[in-house]
Amino acid sequence: MSVGTESLVTVTATINGEPRTFTVPGHRTLLDALRSELGLTGTKSSCTEGECGACTVMLDGHAVNSCLVLAAEVDGHEVLTVEGVSVDGGTDLQQAFLEHGAVQCGFCIPGQVMSAEYLLSRNPDPSVQEIRDAMSGNLCRCASYNRIVEAVRQTATKRVSTRG
Ligand code: FES
Ligand code: FES
């Protein structure tokens, strides 16, 4: 990281597996840098104060609210966004969200997907209560909570059975 004039900060980080270098004002959040400097608009901005989970990404493998992280803090680190866990046509998890009708307006879904992937990376076969607890920081104004839980549960079951 190098700090220049006008409090600009040059950050080099691994974003979705690719090395990226970008320059931002020192006060820029990771959320805003992802959306504005890096064009990764899948990560959504809502409350901007750590309350809703819409901006969830993974930082060095841990789910974080990117609105609470400065872009400068990710220098030398790895960031994974919803674009980085997506595939053409949707992952099994994303397909499950669709099949269960969990995607209403869709605004919260990228954050829900990241929190669910984080949970499944830590706990491949979570109970319904464990899913509810792990995803309690992701708010859904469309109140798709039960459908989201069902989608995560189904994905876990399928992944576990596939891995045998
Ligand atoms: S926008 Fe970050 S938690 Fe709401
Ligand atoms: S699907 Fe609309 S906020 Fe969750």
What is the reported pLDDT for 42? 97
Report the SS3 class of residue 150. Answer: helix
Task: Look at ligand 2, atom 4, and give the residue with the nearest C-alpha.
Answer: 140
CA of 51 to the centre of ligand 1 (A): 6
Quick one: which of 142, 145, 87 has its CA closest to 115? 145
| In contact, 115 and 131? CB cutoff 8 Å | no
What are the C-alpha distances in Å from 122 to residues 23, 38, 100, 116?
33, 28, 23, 10
Give the number of whichever ligand sits closest to the CA of residue 46: 1
Share of the chain above pLDDT 70, in %: 96
Mutating to test ligand 1, I would choose from 44, 46, 136 the residue with most ligand atoms within 8 A of its C-beta, which is 46
Q: Is the pLDDT of residue 129 over 80?
A: yes
pLDDT digits (tens, 9 = 90+) for 47-64: 999 999 999 999 999 999
In angstroms, what CA-CA distances link 59 with 17, 40, 89, 148, 150?
12, 15, 25, 23, 26
pLDDT at 5 over 80: no
- Calculate mean pLDDT across residues 98-126: 97
CA atoms within 13 A on the CB side of 126: 23
65 lines ligand 1 (CB under 6 A): yes
Instruction: Tell me the two tokens of residue 76.
Output: 């030398």
Q: How far, in Å, is the centroid of ligand 1 from the Cα of 49?
A: 5
Distance CA 52, CA 46 (A): 7
Task: List the domains of the chain with CATH numbers.
Answer: 2-84 (3.10.20.30), 87-163 (1.10.150.120)
Q: Distance from the CA of 20 to the center of ligand 2, in angstroms?
A: 31
Give the residue, out of 46, 47, 142, 147, with the most ligand 2 atoms within 8 A of its beta carbon, to mutate for a pocket test. Answer: 142
- What size, in residues, is the chain? 164
**How many Å apart are CA 70 and CA 31, to the nearest integer?**
8
Q: What is the mean pLDDT of residues 139-162?
A: 96
Q: Closest-lying ligand to the alpha carbon of 139?
A: 2
pLDDT band at 2 (very low <50, low <70, confident <90, very high): low
Cα(106) to ligand 2 centroid in Å equals 5
Distance CA 155, CA 137 (A): 20
DSSP 15-79: ETTEEEEEEEETT-BHHHIIIIIS--TTS--SSSSSSS-TTEEEETTEEEEGGGSBGGGGTTSEE
